Amino acid sequence: MLPEGWKLSCLGDACSGALQTGPFGSQLHAHEYTEHGISVLMPKDLINYRANVETAAKISIEKSEELKRHHLKFGDILFSRRGDVARLALIDDNSKDSLCGTGCLRARPSTKNFAGFLFFFLQLPTIKSWLEHNAVGQTMPNMNTEILYELPLILPPLPEQKKIAAILSTWDRAIEGTEKLLANSQQQKKALMQQLLTGKKRLRGFTGEWKKKTLSNVCQIKTGKKDVNEGCENGEYPFFTCARQHTFSENYSYDCEAILIAGNGEVGKTHYYNGKFEAYQRTYILSDFTNISVFFILHFIEFFLPLDISKEKQHGAMPYIKLGTLKDFSVVTPPIPEQRAIATVLTTADEEIASLESDLSRLRQEKKALMQQLLTGKRRVTVD
């Protein structure tokens, strides 16, 4: 049963039939793209429900005038026409006046419906499933205006649409603000690592000489011994594999302070752990540290090992880390007191990043739950 005042509809009716594909290939050729000009939005430019005009291809103003019918206005909703057909974006002040590209479809809501509400409604998991299920094509899913027209909607009265969109936009602004804070914190930590871990910037009061060593000089390096099937969802002990997040095991083989490094999969991904744990056979275990701050070496590896891996990949090598690579890995260290001070600064930065990541995850979950309630009428809003 529909909530009182809500009605069944479809996207075509909500847009009064104003659904438009991008220009055909015969209308816009590859040689007509330019370095600067009017942005032409393609599916790749629809990221996290936003249209990124910076990454978009460009055409001249003169050419864009020939394609007037494909110009985008504020409030248009742009869909990917092929591949990930559930990818979409709302055209805002940053992306208005760009063009709908060949691989996209444009929906222009009528004045009887609010674009912001439709935009949030189209993000529901049920809509994503509908689009994927109704797309045509076996090799690559494709969408067309006829299919998109029939996309089912349930719509409250216009004032309620606007109120719901305003509430959810508040969450979007909070999420966007937290994303920016997180990106800034990550960039600041990267700059700190570049300065502190190379000695380019010394912390106040420290003047001692830095010394070059190999990783095998400061710790023991070995690999885990367990198969990936050792993982168990309800296990008591962390089981470190080559994935981004550890799983669990009912058993443990190690009980120590350790740095764990993924040898393949998420190559170079590091974890710190102190206690009982299990490890996969392609995970490296660094332990028994000598004359080194564990947290200093953790940050040093996190910063410099990915750089080494990236260089090797550019030469078509190192899809995985070899034991010899780690043993010969160069480490440049100041005296222990400065190591500890540097580690404290970088760990504090990590804690700030972790806090922002937690805030971001919480906001996204709150928005998701709120969308499910408001966009289906399970929770009603009061309209002034």
CATH number at residue 375: 1.10.287.1120
Regarding whether 221 and 93 lie in a shared domain, the answer is no
Quick check: is 46 in a domain?
yes
Q: Of 296, 312, 333, which closes a domain?
A: 333
In a domain, 290, yes or no: yes
- What is the CA angle 284-289-292, rounded to 5? 120
Strand order across the beta sheet in which 247-249 lies:
220-223, 283-287, 254-262, 270-279, 237-240, 247-249
Residue 358 placed within a domain? yes
Specify the pLDDT at position 313.
61
pLDDT at 161 over 90: yes
User: How many domains does the structure of the chain reveal?
Assistant: 3
Cα 7 from chain centre: 35
Instruction: Kindly state whether residues 321 and 358 are assigned to the same domain.
Output: no
pLDDT at residue 257, as a whole number? 97
Burial class (CB in 10 A: 0-12, 13-18, 19+), 199: middle
Residue 27's pLDDT band, with cuts at 50, 70 and 90, is confident
For 74, the domain range is 7-155
Q: What's the alpha-carbon Rg for the chain, to the nearest Å?
A: 27
Q: Does a structural domain hold residue 1?
A: no
Look at residue 230 and tell me if it is in a domain. yes
Residue 192 is predicted with a pLDDT of 95
Percent of the chain with pLDDT over 90: 82
Q: List pLDDT tens digits, range 116-147.
A: 999 999 999 999 999 999 998 877 888 999 99
Average pLDDT over residues 24-43: 89
State whether 238 and 249 are in the same domain.
Answer: yes
Residues 19 and 151 in one domain: yes
Residues 142 and 33 in one domain: yes
21 lies in the same domain as 151: yes
2 lies in some domain: no
What is the per-residue pLDDT for 316? 59
Chain segment 283-342, per-residue pLDDT in tens:
999 999 999 999 999 999 999 998 877 776 655 555 788 898 899 999 999 999 999 999
251 lies in the same domain as 185: no
Name the residue type at position 35.
Answer: E
User: Which tens digit of pLDDT belongs to each residue from 334-384?
Assistant: 999 999 999 999 999 999 999 999 999 999 999 999 999 999 999 999 987
Domain match, 238 and 348 both = no
Mean pLDDT of 255-263: 96
Residue at which a domain ends, from 290, 308, 333: 333
Note whether 19 and 102 are same-domain residues: yes
> Does residue 20 belong to any structural domain of this protein?
yes
**What CATH number does residue 253 fall under?**
3.90.220.20
Q: What is 58-84 written as a DSSP string? A: EE-HHHHHHTGGGB--TT-EEEESBSS
Tell the residue number behind the tokens 């899809």, with chain if given: 319
User: Could you tell me if residue 205 is inside a domain?
Assistant: no
Same domain, 298 and 150: no
Q: Which residues contact 134 (CB under 8 A, 6 or more apart)?
A: 147, 150, 151
Domain check: are 310 and 344 in the same one? no
As a whole number of angstroms, the longest Cα–Cα distance in the chain is: 75
Question: What is the rounded distance in angstroms from the CA atom of residue 53 to the CA atom of residue 377?
Answer: 34
Looking at the structure, tell me whether residues 143 and 253 fall in a common domain: no
